[in-house]
Structure 1
Amino acid sequence: MLITRHAEARTVLDDPRYVPPPVPQDGREGTLAWLRAHVSRFSTGDPHDRRRRAVVERLASLDPAELRSAARAMTLERGGEWRRVPTEVLGAALGVKDTAAVPVAASGYLSGEGSPEADAAVATLLDQADLPTVTLLLQAYAATEGLIENTLKHAATSVDVEALLHETLRHDPPLKASRRLDTRTGDEVTIDLVAANRDPGVFADPDRFDPSRGRTPHLTFGYGIRPCPAPDHALALAAGVLEGLL
């Protein structure tokens, strides 16, 4: 079932009967498959709650303002070469000295498409950090860089970095869809985040990119019982990079 309306999407995201589709649980320890079986994103019930708490606790030690400043400084130092800046800034804040393995490990994190290279990258990261830290790096990598890339498409419409980011989250989210499994029927549900974020019943003139909207009830950071644990940190990293570029 495909969901495109904002209210229906919120209902699904706030109902515990809808859970992430299960991932294989038999991966060899230290591989990408093993990691996916042990992170909060793909867990349900008590394991999800416990694993999410560990991530939130790790985030509590990070100041978004400091992340923003560091991302801006690194972007300026690199003459606008911003790729990998969010990952390196976050890694440094989390005590991970070498984040070179993150892009390779992240390549199959959402899809589950493993490879020997991804397994080796996961092992490299786990040698440096615990699972909550690696989880944060992998989840932040593609999403934050995707947000920056999409925001830059609209940079000519405004110089207000925060306004640009908030409208990009609504209008052009880096993650286009979210999947859930109905535990009562076994049916898979796909939430079209682009369509839900442009629901004309919620957003006036929804297809127009308009930074003056400010904060809106978009669903890009999730909603309900499984919201993104780090929206402030992601926005801070993205804002710092954009400040360094614009």
Structure 2
Amino acid sequence: MHIEATLITRHAEAEAVLADTRYVPPPVRQNGEEGTLAWLRAHVSRFSTGEPHAERRRALTDLLDGVDPAELRERARAMTEQRHGDWRGVPTQVLGSALGVADTSAVPAAAAGYLSGEESPQADAAVTELLKRAGLPAITLLLQGYAATEGLIANALERARPGDDVDTLLRETLAWHPPLTVTRRLDTLTGDEVTLDLVAANREAPGDHLTFGHGVRPCPAPAHALALAAGVLEGVLS
């Protein structure tokens, strides 16, 4: 079967796709052995639809209700300063501690294929380790936040100038240099794949960026991600 691919670059069109339930994430493998990366991807909100997505997303937001973004920001700043600006891994450690996950050392290996679906023995072993230490909602937040938050910080630091206001710097980075540049959806009516160019869409309407999603599948933790990024930037730039 021939599948058409559509690229969307206009902000209004991208927003409409993200708000329409006919567009869903491309399906992921459902028959992975329990404890593997494939199994994990089949059981998280990001790659699910309908009621399973809603239930899994509620589990994330319920868990985050007990985490104060202001405390995350302060802890991220303090840890970054203690490490003399060596900030890599700080967001994951701070968030993990807040979620009750003391050892987050397996997160990078598990996160390596989380978005792409690229499976490996290393990723599977890391997922197995994480499942010994935390429930699926906490693991989901750690994996989803790992690349996105660190990518946001790295992009912001590339743009940083002396005297920059951290919050303004993050808003500009989210709009103009987001860590996630594209997102994909499957049109359930036609079977076609739709690719949303977030960079192009954001630059058309930077004051209303789509970096944290929109419509039926928004990011569950924008305030927490921004707090972690802001704390690290304060620790590096102070």
| TM interval, short-chain normalised | over 0.9
Runs of 4+ in 1 over 3 A off after TM superposition: none
Which whole-Å deviations, capped at 9, do the CAs of 1:191-220 have from their partners, x for residues lacking one?
000000111xx35xxxxxxxxxxxx21000
* Contact map agreement 1:106 1:141 (CA 8 A) in 2: yes
Percent of paired sites with the same residue: 70
Which whole-Å deviations, capped at 9, do the CAs of 1:165-193 have from their partners, x for residues lacking one?
00000000000000000000000000000
The CA distance in 1 between the partners of 2:149 and 2:156, in whole Å, is 11
SS at match of 2:208: coil
Matched, 1:68 2:65: no
Matched, 1:121 2:126: yes
Structure 1: gaps (5+ residues): 204-215
Q: Which residue of 2 aligns with 1:6?
A: 11
Q: Which residue of 2 aligns with 1:207?
A: none
Partner AA of 1:229 in structure 2: P
The CA distance in 2 between the partners of 1:83 and 1:245, in whole Å, is 11
In the TM superposition, residue 157 of structure 1 has moved relative to its aligned partner by: 6.6
Matched, 1:220 2:211: yes
**Aligned length, in residue pairs:** 232
The CA distance in 2 between the partners of 1:236 and 1:137, in whole Å, is 15
The CA distance in 2 between the partners of 1:70 and 1:36, in whole Å, is 30
* Contact map agreement 1:109 1:138 (CA 8 A) in 2: yes
In the TM superposition, residue 93 of structure 1 has moved relative to its aligned partner by: 0.5
SS at match of 1:2: strand
Match of residue 116, structure 2, among 102, 111, 136: 111
TM (norm. structure 2) is 0.96
Which residues in structure 2 correspond to 1:130-149 (within 5 Å)? 130-149=135-154
TM (norm. structure 1) is 0.93
The CA distance in 1 between the partners of 2:151 and 2:163, in whole Å, is 19
In the TM superposition, residue 158 of structure 1 has moved relative to its aligned partner by: 5.0
SS at match of 2:20: coil
Matched, 1:172 2:177: yes
The CA distance in 2 between the partners of 1:158 and 1:11, in whole Å, is 38
